[in-house]
Structure 1
């Protein structure tokens, strides 16, 4: 018995430790190798990928028989039963089409894009490698329905379905499940802490409201980026790019971009990876000198305020200055009448004098993946850090310099559930406000009172001497500017450093912030239990903000401000009618501690038609909502043209400001040279700007901000007609309590509506403009449609064309003070044409974009964006023996410069060459 027992134990031990190795090749119908194909052991978390020659080797701790699955983007997946060790397995994958691609974003569960209940766009590994754009993130611009507004060489803002600014708070971007919004800024800084192209596994974009599954702020759309697993994609890969940026204002400047990825599976239980990338170049210069107060005039206008000129925002009524000088005995009695009853501004500095225009991005991330049971259960730690220098345009232009942001995530998951928690922490670094840099360099040299006093005194004396007004203005500015600090001098550099290191906007311009966000998610998919009836999911999330700007952005001067929100959801998905019909119903409840809770239901129906099931019709109705952002609630910031004040109840009395520009008559009324205003006045004692401009002052209707809501209807079709892949969709969005900002006028004295002192304050220019965060009093609608057609031409050329239509329905007369900021062209056309293998190892790709003209509305400025056309192109050559791809390309071929937002620099051309090694 002992011998038998020992034999049995030995056999069991051998079986338990047995390993099987399969080696082989994966090819297409033409017997061409498929690099990067996935080979996975069915039912376990074990796999590998093919190399550049389509070769693979997979060792598993199982004895035959077992099954492996082989798949690759653009091909139909296949399963192979392994009955013994195989050293020469040859797997042929049949070419599929984009309808067969699997997505997870639309329903939080894997499904063919063909069966998605809502519109979705996918940007896979093939598209990433062949994009003619300089990097994959820029390549998203070629997707239908997508707008990318270019703020900087390194800061691109992605949006869908309208209502976009650079602070795009209606669009969410998730990277491996983490929202990479900067929590104080409330928007994504492009791809600053995204991922390098070496680590991108897939990009999915879900346009339209998605609150039913993804919660608050998944309002206009959501972008999902997922990275490669170190279990499946191992080895060392790298890329290097270099070239020039070419712009009329900036000239030709070098840029370069490097990246490396290291990944290794140490066993079938533990794997790790690390990524690093570095980009540096010269940003697009913003050098518009358009006079925003009086377009068509130039710097000869005494009250000139240039669009990209800063410091000239400081302006005052020159006759009022004369009155003060007369009161003080500096000018003789009556001299004030020699001065015009008009404003004069200080001399400003060009943006190119106040900004180094350096674009830089440094990204690093590392992840450890642990599968304790060598199956699909996985524990992941993922840490990401990013540091960058870029330009951001909000109420002002900001130099985001050495901005630092980090995220740390811990996640537990398998095929049926995940639990994740992460923290986002930001540090503004050496960032500063460009407008206040110009203003306070001026003031550091000579205070406003002295400068305007010299201007007024010189003007009066010149007028007495018989000079014409134009001559008197020129002489007055020359005298007041005598000794002014000039760009390029040591004195200017010293003043610049002093101002940009000072966070007090009365004297400096430093952007100071260390805000944090904590977030947790959980989801469980019961489909493995309930599949006979329906697929059912439940989930939830929790988020906490910790605002910490030391009183420089928010009203957190006495310590950090904290508030939180949570949400729960469920979804049921059922197929019937021979699995041709699919119904998806979901509902989510979200609650912020500052507002009442919101329910967000969604219902969608998909139906597959045709004998070959090649046609699918989808329809959906869903609601969404957006909570006011951290700035909507707690900002307290004077940006020069206006004071921004958040409308959270506990913020209204925290924002207290003192102004000392009271007129002579106002000083008599107040008995003081200064006045104190509390933020609450923006909502309770203010005039409508439009009514004042129209000469009939009326009280503002701005009220504290509430959550914004949307009701969205969508109808679409996806299908294959002969060799053509067609995707058509249309939508109508109905917004309620639409969130925006409204400028209001707060008088220094009197109560709005009293028809006496408050009107006198307006007459004496004794008021201050505030920007209130509020909701529109009228409903706003938008609607649009997209059409996309892709096919293969003879000789396997790829071609795709798409068209996007977008329109808002809002009558400005219904709410004259409200700015909707649709900021979207009505018509867009995009096209791509290329060949992945025109001849052996050589391919190319081109893209074309045309955008209709549109009006840009934002707090920095309003203006027309002319229509533009852009052509990008690239060629590539593969060297299989070296596992290397060479690539050369250009964006905006022809160099016809354009811009996508009023106030930004013109976008020129980029020319680049690069190589990637072992990027499967």
Structure 2
């Protein structure tokens, strides 16, 4: 903290404070306020926006006279002449057809018109929040071009841009008022589960491409910025209440409610405070697919049945009935048998909940642009999260606490992000260990075999059945006998065992996972343009982060205490205009270092050129390199996920994962031991490729290289412009990946050295091996390319927008058949919107249409085809200015055609809602 304050005081010495203040109000031709209008200083990068009532306050260190450009989507620009300090102006904007004068900050870390942004950027402001058809502003982001939202559950939606993402999208960064919203232990953003209340959102910006040059390792494939309202500019008490119904075939119709309140007050021009609280509750989407992906067409009568949303049936073995009964080989035969599983509905609580609260104290000690902010955010959620398994996340909490000091030229902030998994548990291991608590695997399979053999022989010898008929009847009898006395959901015996299992953090006997991981982060930025007479916009900055992993050995290999490691970075950006301000150059470079890897340099260069007599056409090109550090789990995970043991590949982690396994009778005879101890290092240095085992050929010994950062080279070109009444925004990109982060599955023999053609092969034959999942990099050359085009206009006063997105993966799959890229995005997407904010006096409506092409989904839980789907959302709204209220009636997926965006999740049904919002 002393270093933080020292750095801040150094910056104070360079800062120059605002000398001029301008206040004003922006309205339309009907004298209605225009919220979110942009106010920028002509010829400079300084700017602000209007509040809900159209009011604004603009501070600058430029002395009058100067000009302010006021703009808003759907209105013509207005230029105001400022001749004196403390001047108050009133501005009336007339309708127009442009959306290119919005101000964005994310693309270059400085305010600039979206028209001149060096890269693709999408913006969602106050107007869009008011008009969104989705049940939440966050859900409304899926209507932006180039943006996918993968729905994990009712309260957990994951944003994806340009592919390469599962529901746990660790290639995408989300910042809330500058703080990384990533859950430290999970390594991905939980949507808006613990994010921001819509009452406090001023704007949302999305950069759909790589942004490592300014934002570091996390901004690898996209970044989202949420900026909240200042209590100095947006004061008073705001509130909203939503009530409605969710409908789904699996869950039926259930009540859905969401409410929030915001209070903000400026006690003076030096001190202001705000607080937010929002609560959402509802019934989550039920996942009830019984399809067996490993045995297409199989049902529960199949002895090896493994249902998608049925858990516990993953425990299986090959029963050699002839060997068990001492019969000649081929008499009865053998079969793969799985234990009887439990449906997800018997294991998960589908009560969805999201509670978010935040508090902020803003201090302007000199009543100018210098500001000190103390901010705390606390979120609590109950949801279903799908990763390697399906996790019932109950009472998950995440906290963020920040101290920030800033003015127009610099900021420095330090914050901490911590998570607590609450009562979260793994539904798959809950089923497995409830079964085992009642009857061990050995006993269950023994009971099955001892019933199957006489039933089969009797069916043939006394019953006159064919072998196939006898086998079917014997399997049914074997399962019935083995399941005799099985714990039944709904009974007290089941519930008591289930409760004990989900509160046990040892996955050999329980299902609970414990996670209290955190990270500490400090970053700063300084714009020195004012020191060099605005010759160029030059920014310098840096960051430092420390991770502290703490799962008590349930996720990471931290049984002996928390694991800590560090990373840091620094960057420089230069932005300058040439040729009568028509050509804009942006160049930046960032250096980052993680303690486990060599440092990495991320450069970016872009050029934007403005064409046309009216300067209403803009062309841009950019190229940049980026990188992504392996996640905390890539490095230090040590988790038995059932189908495989996951072991991270940080050099310090290889010997931390130590497990004991039982040997088969053959293995005991060979080694003279009943158990064996395997260290995680063996997965990387003493293993066989599982694909070679499955092929039936000679097993292939493999050594897996340790993981290192993934790299990207991204090329982008685009055009933004005004053509008559049409606003056009199009872009194309080409991404080339190297050292692509990947997982491989390997089989570690319990004895012998892989490749020795002796003991290790006997271990494989005897079933004395364990499957591990390793974390490494692929040698494959992986490329992706695509583009978007959006067209917006007004027809007869109605707003109409259409956009199209194309995405393609380029990889030699024949050369790398085992590589799983998790591209997970449709090749084609079409979206459209149609609405009018003032169809009648105080009455408006909006309709959103989305169509997605089919695509193949890859993830650790399951793979499969996602069919094409069409979604229609709509809303009507009525404003009552006398009580500063807006009433909205709307629905998402109002056609009622259920769909899903990932294999294994519940189908997405419909949500119908009625809301009442009050803004002062």
TM-score under structure 2 length normalisation: 0.93
Query: CA 1:35/1:366 → structure 2, altered by over 3 Å: closer, same or farther?
Result: same
Quote the residue 1:450 is aligned against.
Answer: 443
CA shift for structure 1 position 615: 0.5
Distance 2:454 2:643 in 1: 31
Quote the residue 2:10 is aligned against.
Answer: none
Partner SS for 1:465: helix
CA deviations 1:349-387 (Å, max 9, x no partner) are 000110111110000000000000111000001100000
CA contact (8 A) 2:360 2:373 kept: yes
Asked if 1:877 corresponds to 2:878, the answer is yes
Distance 2:277 2:314 in 1: 42
Matches within 5 A, 1:373-772: 373-466=366-459, 468-660=470-662, 662-696=663-697, 697-772=699-774
Quote the residue 2:231 is aligned against.
Answer: 230
Distance 1:480 1:520 in 2: 58
CA contact (8 A) 1:73 1:126 kept: no
Superposition RMSD in Å? 2.6
CA contact (8 A) 1:688 1:817 kept: no
Asked if 1:266 corresponds to 2:235, the answer is no
Distance 2:573 2:631 in 1: 27
CA deviations 1:510-536 (Å, max 9, x no partner) are 010100110111100011123553211
Distance 1:654 1:343 in 2: 34
Query: CA 1:21/1:682 → structure 2, altered by over 3 Å: closer, same or farther?
Result: closer
Distance 2:60 2:529 in 1: 28
Partner SS for 2:668: helix
CA shift for structure 1 position 753: 1.2
Query: CA 1:720/1:22 → structure 2, altered by over 3 Å: closer, same or farther?
Result: closer
CA contact (8 A) 2:716 2:731 kept: yes
Query: CA 1:24/1:782 → structure 2, altered by over 3 Å: closer, same or farther?
Result: closer
Quote the residue 1:359 is aligned against.
Answer: 352
Distance 1:900 1:451 in 2: 37
CA shift for structure 1 position 687: 1.4
Query: CA 1:196/1:77 → structure 2, altered by over 3 Å: closer, same or farther?
Result: farther
Distance 1:127 1:243 in 2: 21
CA shift for structure 1 position 77: 5.8
Query: CA 1:28/1:832 → structure 2, altered by over 3 Å: closer, same or farther?
Result: same
Partner SS for 2:199: coil
CA shift for structure 1 position 629: 0.2
Query: CA 1:57/1:197 → structure 2, altered by over 3 Å: closer, same or farther?
Result: closer
Query: CA 1:823/1:39 → structure 2, altered by over 3 Å: closer, same or farther?
Result: closer
CA contact (8 A) 2:878 2:887 kept: yes
Distance 2:385 2:93 in 1: 47
Partner SS for 1:132: coil
Distance 2:212 2:24 in 1: 45
CA shift for structure 1 position 35: 5.0
CA contact (8 A) 2:39 2:71 kept: no
Query: CA 1:752/1:23 → structure 2, altered by over 3 Å: closer, same or farther?
Result: closer
Distance 1:478 1:548 in 2: 43
Quote the residue 2:832 is aligned against.
Answer: 831
Distance 2:403 2:310 in 1: 46
Partner SS for 1:886: strand
Quote the residue 1:91 is aligned against.
Answer: 91
Moved more, 374-383 or 338-347: 338-347
Alignment gaps of 5+ in structure 1: 1-19, 327-331
Distance 1:507 1:147 in 2: 38
CA shift for structure 1 position 809: 0.7
CA shift for structure 1 position 588: 0.5
CA shift for structure 1 position 606: 0.5
CA contact (8 A) 1:710 1:736 kept: yes
CA contact (8 A) 1:47 1:232 kept: no
CA deviations 1:520-568 (Å, max 9, x no partner) are 1110001112355321111000011000001110000000000000000
Asked if 1:844 corresponds to 2:863, the answer is no
TM-score under structure 1 length normalisation: 0.93
Distance 1:60 1:178 in 2: 25
CA shift for structure 1 position 768: 1.3
Partner SS for 2:279: strand
CA deviations 1:415-463 (Å, max 9, x no partner) are 0000001000100000000100110111111111111111111112223
Distance 1:672 1:626 in 2: 44
Distance 1:336 1:441 in 2: 35
Alignment gaps of 5+ in structure 2: 1-19, 461-469
CA contact (8 A) 1:39 1:68 kept: no
Quote the residue 2:12 is aligned against.
Answer: none
CA shift for structure 1 position 21: 12
CA contact (8 A) 2:718 2:729 kept: yes
CA shift for structure 1 position 36: 6.4
CA deviations 1:447-495 (Å, max 9, x no partner) are 1111111111111222342351111111111011111111111122211
Matches within 5 A, 1:18-33: 26-33=26-33
Partner SS for 1:571: strand
Matches within 5 A, 1:135-150: 135-150=136-151
Query: CA 1:646/1:99 → structure 2, altered by over 3 Å: closer, same or farther?
Result: same
Distance 1:481 1:140 in 2: 48
Distance 2:278 2:449 in 1: 55
Moved more, 428-437 or 676-685: 676-685
Quote the residue 2:118 is aligned against.
Answer: 117
Partner SS for 2:508: coil
Distance 1:593 1:25 in 2: 52
Query: CA 1:337/1:879 → structure 2, altered by over 3 Å: closer, same or farther?
Result: same
Partner SS for 1:151: strand
Query: CA 1:58/1:73 → structure 2, altered by over 3 Å: closer, same or farther?
Result: closer
CA shift for structure 1 position 681: 1.2
CA contact (8 A) 2:866 2:901 kept: yes
Moved more, 561-570 or 664-673: 664-673
CA contact (8 A) 1:516 1:546 kept: yes
CA contact (8 A) 1:623 1:711 kept: yes
Quote the residue 2:816 is aligned against.
Answer: 815
CA shift for structure 1 position 750: 2.0
Query: CA 1:23/1:775 → structure 2, altered by over 3 Å: closer, same or farther?
Result: closer
Quote the residue 1:370 is aligned against.
Answer: 363
Distance 1:37 1:807 in 2: 37
Query: CA 1:381/1:275 → structure 2, altered by over 3 Å: closer, same or farther?
Result: same
Distance 1:797 1:59 in 2: 32
Query: CA 1:59/1:443 → structure 2, altered by over 3 Å: closer, same or farther?
Result: closer
CA deviations 1:296-348 (Å, max 9, x no partner) are 1111111111110001111112128x85xx6xxxxx64499765332211100
Partner SS for 2:835: strand
CA deviations 1:865-901 (Å, max 9, x no partner) are 0000000000000001010000000111111110000
Number of residues of Structure 1 aligned to a counterpart in Structure 2: 887
Partner SS for 2:365: coil
CA shift for structure 1 position 690: 1.6
Distance 2:59 2:747 in 1: 72
